[in-house]
Structure 1
Amino acid sequence: MLATMTHELQKQHGDMFIYEIIQNLKEIFERQAYQEKYETSRALFQCKMSEGSPMRAHVMGYIQMLKKLGFPLKDELATDVILQSLPDNFKPLVLNFNMNEINKTLPQLLGMLRTAESDLKKNGSKSILIVHEAKRKGKKKGKV
């Protein structure tokens, strides 16, 4: 086991039994994983896209990194974090998204935001709206 370690780790674990080595390595790497999770979640929750900057998948990158570290976000929370990171010119889109209770997967949301960004570039900074077909309740009108 020692032969596969770096020289520094070999020196640190040279006089330990295998069980002690495993426990020590587990402790070392758990601390590193916790620190990485903390830094990633901090960056994610502070993420704010500035107006006019291109839509980037870095928010998705943070979400995926947390998942790899064993701390996945539920899609609903991830969607909220993404929507909250958008600049003010996306407010109508976010409002419409929430009012119509639109349910998208994260990749679909990212695609939708890229489309909205493209529309913003074409139309200047005019408002963006999502058209969502509502389900009608009540009786259907027959032919007269």
Structure 2
Amino acid sequence: MSEGSLVGAYVIKMMGYIQALENLGFPLNDELAIDVVLQSSPDSFNQFVLNFNMNEINKTLPLLLGMLRTGESNMKKGGSKSILMLREAKGKGKKVAK
């Protein structure tokens, strides 16, 4: 994907390629398909990819498409502002002795 192009058209094209691979007998699971799309995104989506991976979001390609479109519109509105989302950890953490 080139910088400045619309993310929606790119993801739909990639979904077509992934479907073509499935039709040829080489299906990609959802996780691999999403990784292919995210890793081929331009540098302007680095913050989105970081948040997506940190939050361990398990989504399908159509849901990722919606999230990327929302992220793209937010980047256009906000300029070059960066936002980092964090969430509370689910796992067991180390207990700190008092």
Report how far residue 94 of structure 1 moved.
0.7
Q: Which has the higher contact order (CA 8 A, sep 6+)?
A: 2
Counterpart for residue 89 of structure 1: 44
Judged with a 3 Å threshold, the aligned counterparts in structure 2 of structure 1 residues 70 and 128 are, in CA distance, closer, same or farther, namely farther
Report how far residue 104 of structure 1 moved.
1.0
Deviation per residue, 1:114-144 (Å, 9 max, x gap): 1111111222243355x46435668xxxxxx
- C-alpha root-mean-square deviation of aligned residues, in Å? 2.1
1:108 aligns with 2:60: no
Q: 1:77 aligns with which of 20, 24, 32?
A: 32
Q: 1:68 aligns with which of 12, 16, 23?
A: 23
* Partner secondary structure for residue 4 of structure 2: coil
| Whole-angstrom distance in 2 between the partners of 1:58 and 1:101 | 25
| Whole-angstrom distance in 2 between the partners of 1:85 and 1:115 | 18
Q: Percent identity?
A: 66
Higher helix share: 1
| Whole-angstrom distance in 1 between the partners of 2:59 and 2:32 | 12
Judged with a 3 Å threshold, the aligned counterparts in structure 2 of structure 1 residues 54 and 121 are, in CA distance, closer, same or farther, namely same
- Please tell me the residue identity of whatever aligns with 1:95: L
Q: Which runs of 5+ in 1 are unaligned?
A: 1-48, 139-144
- Please tell me the residue identity of whatever aligns with 2:88: A
Judged with a 3 Å threshold, the aligned counterparts in structure 2 of structure 1 residues 65 and 101 are, in CA distance, closer, same or farther, namely same
1:58 aligns with 2:13: yes
Number of matched pairs: 89
> Following TM superposition, where does structure 1 have runs of at least 4 consecutive aligned residues deviating by more than 6 angstroms?
none
The TM-score with structure 1 as length reference comes to 0.54
Deviation per residue, 1:82-103 (Å, 9 max, x gap): 1001100110111111122111
| Whole-angstrom distance in 2 between the partners of 1:52 and 1:128 | 20
| Whole-angstrom distance in 2 between the partners of 1:127 and 1:51 | 17
